[in-house]
Amino acid sequence: MTQEDNGWEDYYRKITGRAPRQLLLNALTYFADDVDGPRQAIDLGCGDGTESALLLQHGWKVLAIDGESAAIKHLLEKVPAENQIRLQTQVAKFKDVVLLPADLIHASLSILFCEPDYFAALWQKIVDAIKPGGRFAGQFFGVRDSWANEPDMTFHTEEQVREMLEELEIESFHEQDEDGNAVSGPKHWHVFTVIARKK
């Protein structure tokens, strides 16, 4: 699914109307309803905006970040005006993102697109931004993924993923290591899907 600069628009078109990803739906079940005021989420690599729109529908404040301005355009098309008052957007590559304190950082099928030289700094920004009691919900791609030879993408072993999560309490950890399909066609998926809570 590696995308050229003008390839993301085609990708967004192909996934039009998709359902919100199960990772976010699962993560939301870990949050109690008894809070005063809206919680803050960051949708890191928001893509076509489906998950940001869902968070806004559930009353969250959302900072939606993507490296492609087309992503923000698609997001805004999904969000009614009354919900946009709780939405901030940021167009930035992963190496340049600015994160604010958040109750949830959602990064579904996104941070693997961070270049390896910048990944450690990005991950530290993520951990630092999560409020105590807040959560990270995201995916890390494994070394057996069929995209793992892409030099501008980042892949990890299970040991490396668990080491990165040492400052967090793992609530859900699932490894997928199987053949399947992507929007671009058949591929082998090696993915670690994680929900983890800041201690």
Which residue, chain included where needed, has tokens 């359902």? 19
Q: How high is the pLDDT of residue 32?
A: 85
The first and second tokens of residue 185, run together, are: 């066609």
The sheet with strand 102-107 has its strands ordered as 87-91, 61-66, 40-44, 102-107, 130-141, 185-198, 168-182
The first and second tokens of residue 40, run together, are: 């803050």
pLDDT tens by residue, 126-168: 999 999 999 999 999 999 999 999 999 999 999 999 999 999 9
Distance CA 61, CA 125 (A): 19
The first and second tokens of residue 90, run together, are: 């940021």
Q: How high is the pLDDT of residue 170?
A: 98
CB-CB contact of 23 with 138 (8 Å): yes
pLDDT at 1 over 70: no
Instruction: Provide, rounded to the nearest whole percent, the portion of the chain with pLDDT above 90.
Output: 83
Domains along the chain?
20-27+37-198 (3.40.50.150)
pLDDT at 92 over 80: yes
Confidence of residue 2 (pLDDT cuts 50, 70, 90): very low
Give me the chain's average pLDDT, please: 93
User: Taking the C-alpha atoms of 124, 57, 66 and 40 in order, what is their torsion angle to the nearest 10 degrees?
Assistant: -30
pLDDT tens by residue, 95-115: 999 999 999 999 999 999 999
- Exposed/middle/buried for 68, CB within 10 Å: 0-12, 13-18, 19+? buried
For residue 83, what are the CA distances in angstroms to 55, 67, 189? Answer: 10, 22, 35
Nearest to 191 by CA among 152, 121, 144, 150: 144
pTM of the model: 0.92
| 88, containing H or E segment | strand 87-91
pLDDT at 15 over 90: no
Distance CA 46, CA 173 (A): 22
CB-CB contact of 12 with 48 (8 Å): yes
